[in-house]
Amino acid sequence: MPHLVSQYNFEIQHEIADHLNPPKEHGNDWRLVASKLNFSNNFIEKIKADQMQSPTHRLLENCTSITTDEFLAVLTDPKVQRKDVIFVMWECARPPSLGRLSDRSYPDSGIGRYEILSILSTLGVTGGRAWLAQLVRSLPSNH
């Protein structure tokens, strides 16, 4: 997985966009992610007004200094809670020899602590141990 979000290949961007583009009732879609990544309201409104391109693709290509660690921290933020996006990132990063788990259900809260640890490991997340420990403590244990 690339270090910077702006360097994600088209497959990863497309999968992320499929999940973040649709407006969510609780607002935890691409707009909240952009806000949590400290993009201005003006920038978010410009993306929203552009009907020619996927808002998530526009957001990701402008994440030129946002790391994968920072992006994952936003996706696991209590207000964002987009484990489904983490899962598709993991699916894209897994070696093809392991196959896909796409046929499994992964609704928003269906991924537990061990799966997230595996995902973070597969993605090569190098964030601080304190952040990872906090993330693990906050996740439900389903094992």
- The pLDDT averaged over each successive group of 10 residues in the chain (143 residues) is 87 93 91 97 94 93 92 90 85 62 45 59 53 50 43
Q: What pLDDT does 39 receive? A: 97
Q: What pLDDT does 26 receive? A: 84
Query: Both tokens of residue 3?
Result: 């270090």
3-state secondary structure of 47: helix
3-state secondary structure of 68: helix
Is-contact 33 20, C-beta < 8 A?
yes
Is-contact 33 70, C-beta < 8 A?
no
Of 79, 132, 139, 94, nearest in space to 104 by CA = 94
Q: What pLDDT does 37 receive? A: 97
Q: What is the pTM of this model?
A: 0.72
Q: What pLDDT does 118 receive? A: 62
